[in-house]
């Protein structure tokens, strides 16, 4: 087994890079199947959207709004 990384010594950028690499490895693994609760949550969210209980927001507008909020 490979040596584990002590996360407290990694920068935020390094931690994000590590998460991305782990995630990419998982999603490209043919043997990986998301747990049932993932599908259950997605089904509930789609139902709420169809029932008009959820809104869809443009991601670029959300980012700009957050940027404005935190910079002011």
Structurally, the chain folds into a number of domains equal to: 1
Residue 50 lies in a domain: yes
- pLDDT at residue number 29: 84
For residue 61, CA distances in Å to 22, 41, 54, 66 come to 29, 25, 17, 9
Helix, strand, coil % (nearest 5) of the chain? 65, 0, 35
User: How far apart are alpha carbons 28 and 23 in whole angstroms?
Assistant: 9
Residue 41 lies in a domain: yes
pTM for this one?
0.50
Range of the structural domain that residue 56 is part of = 7-71
Residue 2 lies in a domain: no
> Over the stretch 32-67, which tens digit does the pLDDT of each residue have?
888 999 999 999 999 999 999 999 999 999 999 999
50 or 2, higher pLDDT: 50
> Over the stretch 22-33, which tens digit does the pLDDT of each residue have?
989 888 888 888
Residue 62 lies in a domain: yes
- pLDDT at residue number 26: 85
Taking 80 as the threshold, does the pLDDT of residue 1 lie above it? no
- pLDDT at residue number 32: 81
User: How far apart are alpha carbons 39 and 36 in whole angstroms?
Assistant: 5
């Amino acid at each position: 087994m490979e040596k584990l990384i002590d996360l407290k010594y990694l920068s935020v950028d390094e931690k994000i890079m590590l998460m991305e690499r782990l995630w990419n490895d998982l999603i490209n693994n043919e043997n990986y199947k998301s747990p049932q609760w993932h599908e259950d949550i997605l089904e509930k969210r789609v139902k709420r959207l169809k029932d008009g209980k959820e809104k869809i927001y443009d991601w670029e507008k959300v980012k700009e709004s957050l940027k404005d909020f935190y910079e002011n």
